[in-house]
Amino acid sequence: MPAPDTELIYRDDSLLVVNKPAGLLAVPGRGADKQDCLSVRIQRDFPNALVVHRLDMATSGLLVFARGVEIQRRLSQMFRDHEVAKLYVALVQGRVESPTGEVDLPIAADWPNRPLRKIDVDTGKASLTRYRVLDYGNGAAETLLRDTQSELILETSRVELEPVTGRTHQLRVHMAAIGHPIVGDALYGVPATDRMMLHACSLRFIHPVNGILLDLQSAPPF
C-alpha cells in the first residue's frame, strides 16, 4: 500500500488515482532535497506506476498514474485531447460577484521572475478557466489571512474551477488576474496560511482499457 500520508482512491491493473497532500512534490525536483515526492513514494509499492500529469506542490487532490508505458501513452493523449474532465475547489480572497463566469486570458512564462507566469496578450498561450461560486464566507470560519501589520479577517468565496486548458499555474494566475487570488498562494496571492487553498476534487474519464466511465471524487480538506 502507498505511504500513510497518501490516499489511494482507485486501483486496477492499468492505472492508479491517488490523493496528493499539499506540500508534497508530484515528481522529483532539482537537488537532493527535492527527491522525496509522490511518484517516488508510489513507485515503492507499484514499480510500474508512471506519471501522466502533475499538480503543483502546493495543490492537493487527485493525481493519475499509469501502470506501464502503453497506458501512460493512452492516458497522456486523453489529457492532451481534453477527454479528462477536471474540477478543482478553491478558497479565494474577496467576494466573487458573478455566480458563474469565464477567465479567457493568455498566459506566458515570466522569464525574469521564474517560476512565475503572467498574463501576456502578445506572447501568451490561449488559456480558459470556467468558474462557479459555491458559497461565501467570512475568512475567520476557514482561514485567517494576515497582512504585514496586523491580523486582518477578509471575506472569502469558495469556487469550483474548471481548467479548460492546462497551462502551468493557470488557475492561480487567472484568479489573481480577476482580483481574487487563491488564499495561501505564496506566488500570486497572500501567503498567510499553512497551505494554498486549492484542491483537485474531481476527475471524470473513460477507462482507456475497459471503456468504463470513471467518476472519481475527493472532498477538499478546507
All domains of the chain in start order, with CATH:
7-217 (3.30.2350.10)
Is the bond into 115 cis (omega within 30 degrees of 0)?
Answer: yes
Residues marked active site are found at 56
In this structure, how many other beta carbons lie within 10 angstroms of the beta carbon of residue 34? 12
Q: Which helix or strand (DSSP H or E) is residue 133 part of?
A: strand 128-138
Q: C-alpha grid cell for residue 2?
A: 502507498
pLDDT of residue 182: 95
The rounded distance, in Å, linking the Cα atoms of 53 and 75 is: 9
pLDDT of residue 192: 66
pLDDT of residue 204: 98
Q: C-alpha grid cell for residue 104?
A: 479567457
User: What are the per-10-residue average pLDDT scores of the chain (222 residues)?
Assistant: 71 98 91 85 96 96 98 98 97 95 98 95 97 82 43 78 97 98 92 87 98 97 89
Q: Which residue has the cell 458563474?
A: 100
**Could you give the 3-state DSSP secondary structure of residue 139?**
helix
Task: Say if pTM beats, i.e. exceeds, 0.85.
Answer: yes
pLDDT of residue 91: 95
User: For residue 217, what is the DSSP state?
Assistant: E
pLDDT of residue 6: 77
In this structure, how many other beta carbons lie within 10 angstroms of the beta carbon of residue 73? 14
Q: Are strands 60-67 and 198-206 parallel, antiparallel or unpaired?
A: parallel
pLDDT of residue 121: 96
In this structure, how many other beta carbons lie within 10 angstroms of the beta carbon of residue 134? 15
